[in-house]
Structure 1
Amino acid sequence: MSTKAERTTAYIIETVAPLFNKHGYIGTSMSDLTEATGLTKGAIYGNFENKEALALSAFEYNRNILLTALDEELNAPGSALDKLSNLTEFYKKYDAFTLKMGGCPILNVGVDAQHNNKLLAAAVKETIKEIEGKIALVLENGLNNGELKLPVTPLQFAKQLFTMIQGAIAMSTITLDRKYLLNTITYLEILIKREL
């Protein structure tokens, strides 16, 4: 059973995670945080060392939701191609999946933190590497099981695949047109079948 302090900390993180993701580290004010949580500044900072620590916890909260969902898709039973199909189906609905988070945490926090928060920027880079590694593992297992052939190393293919997905998410977000995401994912499905 968790303590009251642990429950309060969890409540703060869960409540402010979409705010930081939508408005960014600089764009999220203390009044935004107190208004959203219904807590005083002292109550918030009684649970976190500073705004940077809170923003990092908020990113990690959203990151963990994303990684858990990706693990479900990539660890589901089936062949490597089945798992890649799960991945592309997941990303077809990614905008709906990330709606409660305030959008894609990788894109939003990654761009926002690039010039104003080195800790957050580093956390996003590590998350990208982790996702690429998960995809590469599926590809490597498929290669080792004779299920597919790769034109490049598993990690290189995973990086290119994820770059295209994130690019589609960026274009979709910037233009408010989900066709960028859907068309890119459809193209990736064709590419996967043709290349692998």
Structure 2
Amino acid sequence: MTKKAERTTAYIIETVAPIFNKFGYVGTSMSDLTEATGLTKGAIYGNFENKEALALSAFEYNRNLLMDVIDEKLEIEGMALDKLFSLLHFYKQYDVFTLPLGGCPILNVGVDAQNNNNLLAAAVKETIKEIEGKMALVLENGVNQNEIHLPVPPLQFAKQLFTMIQGAVALSTMTRDRKYLINTLTYLEHLVQKEVKK
């Protein structure tokens, strides 16, 4: 692939990622994509095999933006608790972070793709597992370093924590009320402090 073709492909993905995320796989029309990119249908499909391949690339683009921030928050200097609080603090402002993305890619694509796109649904499921795994690793290291104690195994705790985070994301998205996010994350900070801190 030439440098120009690579730039065009990257431009298309970056431009259409928020559109797919906001309107879904079925809800995004070809005219939405040509209008946003300023390219013809032929030019878009010259870079992607089909709409499904483009939607998957768009999800992966948004997913990578999210994963980069999660990695950054979990890799800060300090103890396991510092890393957890860093992540929880990020999720308190999650709606602001996801605004340019067209909303939460995990929630939007996960729900939208459930019954109409197996590849996208599988990609979301893998992303969820990866985030839970990263959180579990921080927790496991914290337990091994004798920094924290957990009432359940690290992965189970990570799954429960992420379930509550995503629940807050879902309700704040559906109600357009960020208090669901802020109040839940404040509660989770309190819970972690109370249940996990040694």
- Is 1:127 aligned to 2:130, yes or no? no
Counterpart code for 2:148: L
Partner in structure 2 of residue 190 of structure 1:
190
Distance in 2, matches of 1:141 and 1:57, equals: 33
Residue type of the alignment partner of 1:26:
V
The percentage of counterpart residues that share the same residue type is 78
Give the ranges of 4+ consecutive aligned residues of structure 1 lying more than 2 Å apart after TM superposition. Answer: none
Alignment of 1:13-92 (within 5 A): 13-92=13-92
1:150 and 2:150 matched:
yes
Determine the C-alpha separation between the residues in 1 that align with 2:90 and 2:46: 38
- Which whole-Å deviations, capped at 9, do the CAs of 1:39-60 have from their partners, x for residues lacking one? 0000000000000000000000
Distance 2:148 2:59 in 1: 35
Per-residue deviation, residues 6-63 of structure 1 (Å, max 9, x unmatched): 0000000000000000000000000000000000000000000000000000000000
Please list every run of 5 or more consecutive structure 2 residues that lacks an aligned counterpart in the other structure: none
The superposition leaves residues 72-91 of structure 1 with CA deviations (integer Å, 9 ceiling, x where unpaired) of 00001000000001011100
TM-score normalised by structure 1 residue count: 0.99
Report the 3-state secondary structure (helix = DSSP H, G, I; strand = E; otherwise coil) of the residue aligned with 1:171. Answer: helix
CA RMSD of aligned residues (A): 0.5
Give the Cα separation in 1 of the matches to 2:19 and 2:78.
37
> Which consecutive residues of structure 1, in runs of 5 or more, have no partner in the other structure?
none
Aligned position for 2:116: 116
| TM-aligned CA deviation for residue 162 of structure 1 | 0.2
Aligned to 1:178: 178
Cα deviation, residue 165, structure 1 = 0.2
CA distance in 2 between counterparts of 1:147 and 1:76 reads 16
Q: Secondary structure at the match of 2:116?
A: coil
For residues 190 and 83 of structure 1, the distance between their equivalents in structure 2, rounded to whole angstroms, comes to 15
Amino acid in the other structure paired with 2:138: V
Query: Could you tell me which amino acid in structure 2 is paired with residue 43 of structure 1?
Result: A
Q: Residues 136-156 of structure 1, C-alpha deviation per residue, up to 9 Å, x if partnerless?
A: 000000000000000000000
Find the aligned partners of 2:76 and 2:180 in 1 and give their Cα distance.
27
The residue number in structure 2 matching 1:6 is 6
How many residues align? The count is 195
